[in-house]
Structure 1
Amino acid sequence: MPHIAELPDLRAAQNPTGPCVADDHDQLDNQTFLHRVRTAATVLRAHGVGAGDVVAVVLPNRVELVVIMFAAWRLGAAVTPVNQGLTDGEARYQIEDCAAKVVIADGARAIGTLDVGAVTGASMEAEDARPHASDALALIIYTSGTTGRPKGVMLDHANVAAMCQMIIEGLGLDETDHSLLILPLFHVNGIVVSVLSPLLAGGRATVAARFQASAFFASVERARPTYVSAVPAIYAMLVSLPPGVRPDTSSLRRMICGAAPMPAELIARFESRFGVPVVEGYGLSEGTCASTLNPPAGPRKPGTVGLPLPGQTVAVMDADGRLVQDGSPGEVVVRGPNVMRGYLGMSQETAETIVDGWLHTGDVGRFDADGYLVLVDRIKDMIIRGGENIYPKEIENVLHAHPAVLEAAVVGAPHPVLGEIPVAHVALLPDTMATTEELLEHCRAQLARIKVPVSVFISESLPKNPVGKIDKPRLRALALRS
């Protein structure tokens, strides 16, 4: 596989007028994309950017972000994409933590040192390609910071190249594939699965500005993508669309789900309504995106996150560091060329997370008889009630089985005697009804008494973090106040 920084040159040489990257305003063929990348690289070099530097990009989803990413790589620099939803103070923490040489934003953000128009719209002598090292940093992706201050995950070009090759092989991508990106480009899933992998496979990518459930299928009908990568919250919104929404999904070969486990009931609702198979996978930023995948060619097993991707090892480890072989649950650990270089400037946290080459995920899982990984829960989400371990995901799965439940999240609430007790938060499907008592009775019928939530709160929707996962820290904060 070529170095990813060389991809614009190779695509332009092989098929100059072939489609490459598009968004709501721009459609770039391979030749034009290369020209934009070379020009942007020239501007960045004029502003002092070189090998080993970091370029921070504070932009919404748009073609320019992809152009800048390749321009920085052309110079041997790394990119840190910054969530546009952060306050200036939060964004400044990330920018200063990685010592960014320049900050590229649109004119609305005061934190930018370069306006995006000056970088991608310039007309200057174009920057030639240079030799590239596989161990040079490519991306610094910041974790959401739910367990403290955000950590910069360092991914080098070897990590990214290995991950893309695994995605291409796992999904069977080729030159006919066309991804529609709806996830944010400050997250590694959006970058790797929806942009880099299809481009490396010879296909193309369309960048959607922002996900809106009501406009999603119009985008699908207009762009005619072959796949879309999304998170469970997006699928929940799509199955909640009015019954009259019957879109043309014939271009879609598959939908991909990651970031959080997707309830089997939600997969079934989506597939039966829209006629597109959902391929669920699992991974984390520290593993450059994905570690397991339900094989698109089958068998797919809803309720699992699939088989280990080719080229990496996924295992389950007990508390004493021994690999579990009998199907019992333990911490999911990952080993392979996709494992991050470490956390930027955090040697202790890196040493605690990567032990003897194994990336410790903090997730509890087990392998079923066919070798498919079943996620039990996050270690930190486990509730200890009177000394008994309770995994919220087990309760959430039961709640999801109720025909009226769209989303469910269970967190621990403090208790003076028992330590913690489970509390459930639920959002219902449109035009359905369920009372708190009805949901509690549903749980009592299927769960041991100790696992039944002490209370169920029904809301119109559950809070989400910037990546689209249900925001459990916010729900825990609510439990603390109540």
Structure 2
Amino acid sequence: MHFATVTASRAAAAPDAPAVSDDVRSLSNRQFDDAVGQAAAVLRSRGIGAGDVVAVMLPNAVDFVVTLFAAWRLGATVTPVNPALGPREIGFQIADCSAAIIVTGSSFLEKIPDDVSTVTEILEQQHSENGVVTEQLHRSADDVALLIYTSGTTGRPKGVILDHANLDAMSSMAIEAFSHNEASRSLLILPLFHVNGIVISVLAPLAAGGSVTILGRFDPRLFFERIEAVRPTYFSGVPTIFTMLANLPESVRPDTSSVQFAVCGAAPASAELLERFEQRFGIPVVEGYGLSEATCASTVNPLNGVRKPGTVGPALPGQTVIVVDEQGAAIADGRPGEILVKGPNVMRGYLGRPEETATTVVDGWLHTGDIGQLDIDGYLTLVDRAKDMIIRNGENIYPKEIENAAYQLDGVREVAVVGQPHPVRGEEPVMFASLNPGTTITADDIQTHLADNLAKYKRPVTITITDEVPKNPVGKIDKPALRRQLPATSPAS
């Protein structure tokens, strides 16, 4: 399926049914299709056509989704731009993908670099003189749909090339896994510049005939008011969001009866956190695993099957997930190894980086760089990122094991462990932790707890209590930022 056809198909099938809404606008299928046609006409008037790249730097709103489908109607590619980026970062992304135009709003104009010549506030210029693009030109499933830029924590961000076949495969997998249909109502709370927000919360429900409500900004104090007003059937979040919601005052007792499930992804979550959230609010949480290079998701705990807390579930329908050793041989006995993924959702490659593409996708297998274990039922447990592994005196230490142990202590809100260079031992683990409001535990209390649960060589040499553990724009804990806070090396001892 080519997603350029979706809005017209929905308008023909159920013109008055709800399609997309945000904090201020609500569009039926007919209105959605009309808005896409008008926006496509504006883009066409600026010379945009098949093969061009359209950069979209907008907040979470209906305008973003309309622009997405408008570009696809013209056969163009979209690269979402994080509005929180600085001018230099924006300029790099625009130049790297040779974007022909950037679609943005007036509040972001000052952030556009001077050398980016074309800026349009597309939805403020949908006038009748531009006409409406209604024709559905023949497109191919291998047309490039998205260029998703990675966070760039290990260097310059890379453009992940996803075509319409990738999006179709991923959406179909999500529809099957979550039993989406015309009654499905997604509440989007993740940023739309991220593939999770686009695919899991927008494309999948729309392809299934359902609808989407876009939350402009996530505020835990107001979130459940929105749940009660919109009555969504599901939402997708990251561990930080579930932590904030689970820590709301006990007086918050919302009506969550419409919500059939929630999805937790983008970063590992503790089983204790998800259980606490589910018990408090009565919303089943299924944890999944994936990455942009796999068009978002590769595994998920079954919604209607056996859920194994602490795992991220088995492979989604249509994908194969294996774990391999350092020689590339599949591991069948539960030992940890690198996670490899294969399926029609695997990216076409990195834009302009053939060498990195060749080492990342080998014979159709996506080498994720993540370390995991598969149990006898095929359920995946994340061990850590290969790059996050700490080697201390020749011993491999996985930060996630230490973090999981810390999460078992009441009062610990968020925790991150990173390696600090040491002149003799190579690296040593250090911990950063934030606490729940009103908690009186100390760093010494955490150390005592860890001493009861971990071997001595795994225990952090220091624990820093902080108000907030830093996050990147997607909501993941920002370990590179934590590493930058550390001295170049710790004293020899």
Among candidates 267, 271, 278, match of residue 264 of structure 1: 271
Deviations 1:339-361 (A, max 9, x none): 00000001111111111111000
Deviations 1:212-239 (A, max 9, x none): 1111111111111000100001111111
Q: Which runs of 4+ in 1 moved over 6 A?
A: none
Asked if the contact 1:364–1:376 (Cα under 8 Å) also holds between the matched residues in 2, the reply is yes
- Give yes or no for the alignment of 1:151 onto 2:150: no
2:87 aligned residue: 88
- Give yes or no for the alignment of 1:469 onto 2:468: no
2:170 aligned residue: 163
1:363 aligned residue: 370
1:418 aligned residue: 425
Q: CA deviation at 1:448?
A: 0.6
Deviations 1:305-351 (A, max 9, x none): 00100001111111111111121110000011000000000111111
Among candidates 133, 151, 159, match of residue 140 of structure 2: 133
Deviations 1:407-450 (A, max 9, x none): 11100111121111011111112222211111101101111110
Gaps of 5+ in 2: 113-117
Among candidates 91, 116, 119, match of residue 113 of structure 1: 119
1:32 aligned residue: 31
2:202 counterpart SS class:
helix
Work out the CA distance in 2 between the residues paired with 1:363 and 1:122: 51
Work out the CA distance in 2 between the residues paired with 1:264 and 1:116: 44
Task: Give the letter for the 1:368 counterpart.
Answer: D
Asked if the contact 1:57–1:105 (Cα under 8 Å) also holds between the matched residues in 2, the reply is yes
Asked if the contact 1:412–1:422 (Cα under 8 Å) also holds between the matched residues in 2, the reply is yes
Asked if the contact 1:39–1:123 (Cα under 8 Å) also holds between the matched residues in 2, the reply is no
1:395 counterpart SS class:
helix
Work out the CA distance in 1 between the residues paired with 2:216 and 2:395: 46
2:450 aligned residue: 443
User: What is the TM-score with the length of structure 1 in the denominator?
Assistant: 0.98
2:486 counterpart SS class:
helix
1:283 aligned residue: 290
Q: CA deviation at 1:480?
A: 2.7
Asked if the contact 2:45–2:130 (Cα under 8 Å) also holds between the matched residues in 1, the reply is no
Asked if the contact 1:330–1:366 (Cα under 8 Å) also holds between the matched residues in 2, the reply is yes
Asked if the contact 2:432–2:469 (Cα under 8 Å) also holds between the matched residues in 1, the reply is yes
Q: 1:193-232 counterparts in 2 under 5 A?
A: 193-232=200-239
2:394 aligned residue: 387
Work out the CA distance in 2 between the residues paired with 1:121 and 1:406: 50
Gaps of 5+ in 1: none
Q: CA deviation at 1:297?
A: 0.8
Task: Give the letter for the 2:215 counterpart.
Answer: A
Among candidates 327, 337, 343, match of residue 330 of structure 1: 337
2:56 aligned residue: 57
Deviations 1:101-135 (A, max 9, x none): 11111112242611133455666321122111100
Work out the CA distance in 2 between the residues paired with 1:16 and 1:355: 45
User: What is the TM-score with the length of structure 2 in the denominator?
Assistant: 0.96
1:308 aligned residue: 315
Deviations 1:132-183 (A, max 9, x none): 1100000000000001000000000000000000011011111111000000
- Give yes or no for the alignment of 1:403 onto 2:402: no
Fraction of identical pairs, as percent: 57
What do you get for the CA RMSD once the two structures are aligned? Answer: 1.2
Task: Give the letter for the 2:123 counterpart.
Answer: G
Work out the CA distance in 1 between the residues paired with 2:289 and 2:175: 15
Task: Give the letter for the 2:206 counterpart.
Answer: L
Q: CA deviation at 1:405?
A: 1.0
Among candidates 223, 237, 247, match of residue 240 of structure 1: 247
CA gap of 1:44–1:443, structure 2 versus 1, over 3 A, is same
